[in-house]
A and B are shown apart, each in its own frame.
Chain A
Amino acid sequence: MRNTQSTQLLFELSSPGRRAARLPACDVPERPVEELLPAELLADQPPPLPELSEPDVVRHYTNLSTMNMSVDTNFYPLGSCTMKYNPKRNERIAAMAGLADLHPYQPEESLQGMLQLLFELQEMLVEISGLDVVSLQPAAGAQGELAALMMAAAYYRQRGEQRTKVLTPDSSHGTNPASAAMAGFDAVTVNSNGNGCVDMDDLRSKLDEQTAVFMITNPSTLGLFDQQVAEIASVVHGAGGLIYLDGANMNAILGITRPGDFGADMMHFNPHKTFSGPHGGGGPGAGPIAVRQQLAAYLPSPIVVQDGDTYRLDDDRPLSIGRVRSFFGNVGVLVRAYIYIRTHGPDGLRRVSENAVLNANYLLARVKHFLPIPHGDRCMHEFVASAAQLKTDRGVTAMDIGKRLLDFGYHTPTVYFPLTVAEAIMIEPTETESKETLDAFAETLLRVVDESPQLLHEAPHTTTISRPDEVQAARKPVLTWVAE
């Protein structure tokens, strides 16, 4: 029943003279364009876009949509990405004209409801982080990291200290060292110990008076809470450095513990993970950052402040690093985060984390009997299994297993990350999955690891396409459609 139309490109569906959009007639006195603009700036022809009818466009994209796995259609245990349910009420509310149809340069008096919402979100994130002040401006977690590292640079400059190094664990997200490099620091890797936590000796050996920041992901990308975190903070602070917390894994600790309480000086949130912002096929995210008071002056401007009964944007902040994003930031994502937090309240947020951790541990308990979990019997919100033994014994890789899961309607877990685990399979079920789903997934996984290597190497077998040739894609890049 597969529709062959669905894989034709917009450009192949195009037919000269076809149209979808009809614009109204011009209702003001009209003059020839050539009288209004210099001829040398005018195009002879409009851009060569495809010509389609409205039904064409709707069928095309509806068909394309059915070629995706998504949270609404499939279990999506993509570790590190927190693919939880995206509440429909958030979508409906965020689309209210009084929230969506606001121009960023409207006068503040006409934005009091929005500014109140954003102010309250700042306050709630302060509380959840255990830190002192929040900026909502960064457009993504990576931009939050970058902004915070730029703040650290400004902070040390102001103090007259020359600090050039940012330390990141070997299990960190790639954005950590990349952000460090963009902020002008040398990124230095700190090794993990055998338990998957920070190797304290290696940290001590690399920590010196040149160290500006130690970036830590806690819970880590292995799904472990590093119990040494207070000691890490005291060692780093002792050397005059700052602790940055990558907040990607906040879904494990909401209302359980707070980064500010375990020594972090700066952190970002990923509201599209923790606070249910839809992932949108790759974005948008948002990356609010929370910091201690001593760093507050350096936050990107503006931030929302309350003056009595009114709210306003404060950009008179002379030590601020400036802007990292135009306008206010990714407000649509922030509005959904606000709704999510207020829908849960303190008790609800704690239960989110309790159930995220319960689900992950339950799945771990079911999986560990047939797939090794190198870092132990317990985890936080996710865990990392390894197919290394399978690869040695039968030549079956993490990728093979991940691809075969697609045939059973499960999205592949994150594979080959973190880099510290060979043949890593990183599984994050989230709190919005049922025991039945986890049971069925575990049973499928059990079945898959026993299947014939040949069958697994060639998987998936039932999807729209089979495994693509990625080498060819990179060797001779074809990045746009070209008419034959």
Chain B
Amino acid sequence: MPYTINTPRDQQEMLEAIGVESLDELFAMVPEEIRLGGDLHIPPAMSEMEMTRHMAELAGKNQSTADSVCFLGGGSYDHFVPAVVDFVASRSEFYTSYTPYQPEVSQGNLQATFEYQTLITQLTGMDVSNASVYDGGSAATEAVLMSLAATRRSGRVVTTDTVHPEYRQILQTYLANVDTELITVAASDGRIDLPRLTEQITDETACVLIQHPNFFGSLEDVERIALAAHNAGALLIVSVDPMSLGLLRRPGELGADIVVAEGQSLGTPMLYGGPYLGILACREKFLRRMPGRICGQTVDRRGKRCFVLTLQTREQHIRREKATSNICTNQGLFALRASVYLALMGPQGMRELGNLCLQKARYAAERICQSERFELAFDAPTFKEFVVRDIDGNVDDLLAHAASQGVFAGVPLGKWYPDLADCFLVAVTEKRTQADIDRLVSALRANSRKVAASYA
């Protein structure tokens, strides 16, 4: 009972004030026949020291990216997290507060959210942003649901297999119980095949969902895709990598109607998958279709600028079954981390960061492909990720061997793309040094040699 405060004497006094004899009597409204007869069968309590030791043991059974070299990506990335981000997020006035229902005592959170929304619009070139949703996948899915309502078309949603496979799985799950057809267009050479895509966009299509850079790291021709979508009256939803936006044109300038992103890269560790940050921004005219919390500026009774949650009539606690979404929580703490991160980076920082990712990824790709065993799977230009084909077709052993050398060399693609079973996805962030890349190259080569040697 490490955190309860009442002493036996307190308890006695409180029971007397209530007018009952025992703690047990307090539970009189729980019928006897459904009471748990004995103790829960869970392990006994641990002290802080025992707990710390136990958790260190569990942590020790993992091979973390802190003691390896990480080239894994696919939506979660090993970018550098500045100390200030951890410092701000560990202010307990931020992390032990909740949804700013009382603006008078939540101006810290509300102003931070207003700033987050502004930073996201600056980064994406969109008009408005919400206060965040769960993750990149839920952002993409909620954006699709927005498009159904905004276009009043529910017949069809068109996406492509260059969008993150897990995002598409979430979308499929969410659409399973509504009468909307999900069309997934196959890529050619790792990019969207525009004629093939255009063919699928009908006058019943609510939206086209793409990713840029796409799941394979390749850049898409967003402007022409936007035109194809808009010509049919469909919305264009673009899932972006926020780290690319110091270099690449912003999706708002390329014709996107809704922009979504996984915001983990903006100052959040990889945490084995979450919590992360779902970024969702759109053009002004879709504002009232947005899910989740939105913060707005107003004035108080004395005319002082301040911030409040607003447009709440979209939300579940007011509208119940007629709400735009069932989403209640946002990822406040991770929106805060992203804001601090962007404030530290500034425009020049984001540009330099983008350049470092680009240069290092290109260098890594060239170095890997110096071996005759490897080639790039696709020709399209890439940002920080690229797909490598193992001509020997032995990806599992190759990656397992590299991991045993302390190098997480890439994500195997066969699980999602059977025809890419001989390929893996390599991500190179600004954190990777030339020495790291050399280690990657030698871990991949060592395996070739080892395999060769074992047959010699």
Considering only residues 51-90 of chain A, those with a C-beta below 8 Å from chain B are: 51-52, 54, 57-58, 60-62, 64-74, 76, 78, 81, 83-87, 89
Tell me the complex Cα distance, A481–B400, Å. Answer: 49
Tell me the complex Cα distance, A358–B23, Å. Answer: 7
Tell me the complex Cα distance, A225–B17, Å. Answer: 21
Tell me the complex Cα distance, A67–B362, Å. Answer: 46
Considering only residues 412-453 of chain B, those with a C-beta below 8 Å from chain A are: 430, 433-434, 437
The interface-forming segment of B122-130, B189-197, B229-237 is B122-130
CB distance B46 to A343 under 8 Å?
Answer: yes
Considering only residues 85-100 of chain A, those with a C-beta below 8 Å from chain B are: 85-87, 89, 91-93, 96-100
Nearest A residue to B48 via CB reads A89
CB distance B164 to A111 under 8 Å?
Answer: no
CB distance B44 to A114 under 8 Å?
Answer: no
The reply on B143 being an interface residue by CB < 8 A is no
Contact A139 B360, CB 8 Å, known A106-B408, A403-B104 = no
Tell me the complex Cα distance, A326–B289, Å. Answer: 23
CB distance A105 to B74 under 8 Å?
Answer: yes
The reply on A372 being an interface residue by CB < 8 A is no
Contact A140 B173, CB 8 Å, known A347-B39, A473-B297 = no
The interface-forming segment of B200-208, B242-250, B369-377 is B242-250
Minimum CB–CB distance from A96 to chain B (whole Å) comes to 5
B46 contacts which chain A residues (CB < 8 A)?
342-343, 345
The reply on A393 being an interface residue by CB < 8 A is no
The reply on A370 being an interface residue by CB < 8 A is no
The reply on A134 being an interface residue by CB < 8 A is no
The reply on B177 being an interface residue by CB < 8 A is yes
The reply on A242 being an interface residue by CB < 8 A is no
The reply on A241 being an interface residue by CB < 8 A is no
A357 contacts which chain B residues (CB < 8 A)?
23, 26-27
Tell me the complex Cα distance, A282–B110, Å. Answer: 10
Tell me the complex Cα distance, A434–B9, Å. Answer: 12
A110 contacts which chain B residues (CB < 8 A)?
62-63, 68, 403, 408
B93 contacts which chain A residues (CB < 8 A)?
65-66, 68-70, 72-73
Residue of B31, B274, B318 with highest tally of chain A CB at under 10 A: B274
Considering only residues 273-302 of chain B, those with a C-beta below 8 Å from chain A are: 273-276, 287, 293-302
The reply on A5 being an interface residue by CB < 8 A is no
CB distance A83 to B104 under 8 Å?
Answer: no
A276 contacts which chain B residues (CB < 8 A)?
3
Nearest A residue to B168 via CB reads A323
CB distance B96 to A72 under 8 Å?
Answer: yes
Interface size of A in residues (CB-CB distance below 8 Å): 202
The reply on A297 being an interface residue by CB < 8 A is no
Of A41, A182, A227, A406, which one neighbours B219 at CB under 8 angstroms?
A: A41
Interface size of B in residues (CB-CB distance below 8 Å): 205
The reply on A484 being an interface residue by CB < 8 A is no
CB distance A178 to B319 under 8 Å?
Answer: yes
CB distance A141 to B287 under 8 Å?
Answer: no
Tell me the complex Cα distance, A470–B174, Å. Answer: 33
Tell me the complex Cα distance, A153–B343, Å. Answer: 45
The reply on B82 being an interface residue by CB < 8 A is yes
CB distance A64 to B107 under 8 Å?
Answer: yes
The reply on B152 being an interface residue by CB < 8 A is no
B170 contacts which chain A residues (CB < 8 A)?
322-326
Contact A330 B275, CB 8 Å, known A98-B56, A182-B174, A463-B105 = yes
Per-residue A-contact encoding for B327-345, CB less than 8 Å = 1, 0 else? 1111111101001101111
Considering only residues 96-127 of chain B, those with a C-beta below 8 Å from chain A are: 96-109, 111-115, 117-119, 121-123, 125, 127
B298 contacts which chain A residues (CB < 8 A)?
468-470, 472-473, 478
The interface-forming segment of A6-14, A198-206, A443-451 is A6-14
Nearest A residue to B380 via CB reads A38
A384 contacts which chain B residues (CB < 8 A)?
none
The reply on A253 being an interface residue by CB < 8 A is yes
Tell me the complex Cα distance, A386–B221, Å. Answer: 59
Contact A67 B94, CB 8 Å, known A284-B331, A431-B3 = no
The reply on B30 being an interface residue by CB < 8 A is yes
The reply on A373 being an interface residue by CB < 8 A is no
Tell me the complex Cα distance, A352–B23, Å. Answer: 12
Minimum CB–CB distance from A360 to chain B (whole Å) comes to 9
Minimum CB–CB distance from B34 to chain A (whole Å) comes to 4
Tell me the complex Cα distance, A178–B411, Å. Answer: 37
B352 contacts which chain A residues (CB < 8 A)?
23
Per-residue B-contact encoding for A351-376, CB less than 8 Å = 1, 0 else? 11011011101101110000000000
B316 contacts which chain A residues (CB < 8 A)?
142, 173-175, 177-178
Nearest B residue to A472 via CB reads B298
The reply on A380 being an interface residue by CB < 8 A is yes
CB distance A105 to B40 under 8 Å?
Answer: no
CB distance B166 to A326 under 8 Å?
Answer: yes
Minimum CB–CB distance from A74 to chain B (whole Å) comes to 8
Tell me the complex Cα distance, A107–B424, Å. Answer: 13
Minimum CB–CB distance from A427 to chain B (whole Å) comes to 14
The reply on A143 being an interface residue by CB < 8 A is yes
Tell me the complex Cα distance, A135–B132, Å. Answer: 24
The reply on A455 being an interface residue by CB < 8 A is no
Nearest A residue to B126 via CB reads A480
Tell me the complex Cα distance, A479–B317, Å. Answer: 21
Contact A48 B347, CB 8 Å, known A68-B107, A435-B10 = yes
Tell me the complex Cα distance, A253–B434, Å. Answer: 56
A331 contacts which chain B residues (CB < 8 A)?
271-275
Residue of B75, B247, B298, B334 with highest tally of chain A CB at under 10 A: B298
Of A28, A143, A257, A411, which one neighbours B360 at CB under 8 angstroms?
A: A28
Tell me the complex Cα distance, A144–B156, Å. Answer: 26
CB distance B64 to A97 under 8 Å?
Answer: yes
CB distance B104 to A466 under 8 Å?
Answer: yes
Tell me the complex Cα distance, A225–B34, Å. Answer: 12
Tell me the complex Cα distance, A262–B31, Å. Answer: 10
CB distance A182 to B96 under 8 Å?
Answer: no
B199 contacts which chain A residues (CB < 8 A)?
none
B61 contacts which chain A residues (CB < 8 A)?
98, 112-113, 116
Minimum CB–CB distance from B386 to chain A (whole Å) comes to 12
CB distance A103 to B270 under 8 Å?
Answer: yes
CB distance B2 to A26 under 8 Å?
Answer: no
Tell me the complex Cα distance, A143–B174, Å. Answer: 11
A116 contacts which chain B residues (CB < 8 A)?
58, 61
B64 contacts which chain A residues (CB < 8 A)?
97-102
CB distance A224 to B329 under 8 Å?
Answer: no
The reply on A460 being an interface residue by CB < 8 A is yes
Shortest 3 CB-CB distances between A and B: which pairs? A98-B59, A327-B273, A113-B61
Given A325-B274, A411-B102, 20 further pairs, Cβ under 8 A: A10-B115, A87-B2, A92-B52, A93-B52, A97-B64, A106-B65, A116-B61, A178-B323, A182-B145, A184-B177, A187-B321, A333-B275, A342-B43, A346-B39, A347-B39, A348-B2, A349-B40, A358-B11, A432-B3, A469-B300
- Interface pairs (21), CB distance under 8 Å: A31-B359, A43-B250, A48-B122, A57-B84, A98-B60, A101-B64, A101-B66, A103-B272, A103-B408, A105-B74, A112-B61, A143-B138, A173-B317, A183-B177, A325-B135, A348-B2, A406-B104, A460-B104, A460-B105, A468-B298, A480-B128
